[in-house]
Amino acid sequence: MSAPRTRVVPGPTGGLEVLSAGRGAPHTLFAHGLAGSIPTTRPYAAKVPGTRSFLHFRGHGASPVPVPGAPWPYAELAAEVEAVADAVGATQALGISMGAGSLCAGLVERPDRFDRVALVLPAVIDRPRPEAATGRFAVLADLVESGDVEAAAAHLLEEQPPGVRADPAVRAWCRDQAGRLVGTDLADGLRSLPHQVAVPDREALRRVTAPVLVLAQEDDLAHPVDVAVELAELFPGAKLHVLGPGGIMWAHRARVRDLVGEFFTP
């Protein structure tokens, strides 16, 4: 079976790879996390009606890095989300980790841009991550530059919950994702983004009145539950779900699909 066909839409600093599927309203945009991809994001859309569009941020897929060696500010990533959302006509959006932070950065500037927003595994608001949560990204950056797919796959596997590491599907996922990452221009983002904050002042998010879904999971060092709780408290129309450990899309895949599908269904 051939891979789904993507297209490139104009972004603020270069083309951005986009995949669209489905038809009609509502139109939901899905934004992946750092070192994620369109394929890793598509499972979240399984029960979302209407049109679903997925973007590749800079340095991912066929979306180039604007300036090699430069940092990746969340404000610039937010501009990429907005450019794609405007190009495809998205009225709803879901962001995972980096994608969630990018949505928050955009909502500070345009609090009424989306009718509904889902923030999955938010990692940061306006305080930097602790150093213990950033070291793994620097290691992955070195592996991406090294060209060693097997070592990168082993690193990604080590980041998965212990209870699923022996699962052949999980091991295959890590190998496939490593193949997408190694040899790309992602290293700059892996080294710079984990040390940045999504918004300068969290209080600005209180202006967002649209319904917001926040999903978190326990025992996730890179995406602390405390961040999700604090974020949900900022939005007047937020609903928070904290899932148990085991991987939000491994142990809780069916539950997450239901929650996201119900939230984005008119």
pLDDT tens profile 85-123: 999 999 999 999 999 999 999 999 999 999 999 999 999
CATH 3.10.450.750 fits 7-128+196-264, yes or no: no
Partners of 229 in the beta sheet? none
Predicted confidence at residue 3, as pLDDT, reads 61
For 225-249, what is each residue's pLDDT tens digit? 999 999 999 999 899 999 999 999 8
Mean pLDDT of 207-235: 96
- Tell me which residue has tokens 């142990």: 251
Predicted confidence at residue 183, as pLDDT, reads 87
Q: How many CB atoms lie within 10 A of CB 55?
A: 31
pTM of the predicted protein model: 0.95
Q: Is residue 130 over pLDDT 80? A: yes
C-alpha–C-alpha distance, residues 145 and 191, integer Å: 12
Q: Which letter, b or e, does each residue of 4-34 get, where b requires 16 or more Cβ atoms within 10 Å of its Cβ?
A: eebeebebeeeebbbbbeeeeebbbbbbbbb
Predicted confidence at residue 1, as pLDDT, reads 45
Q: Is residue 67 over pLDDT 80? A: yes
Mean pLDDT of 41-60: 97
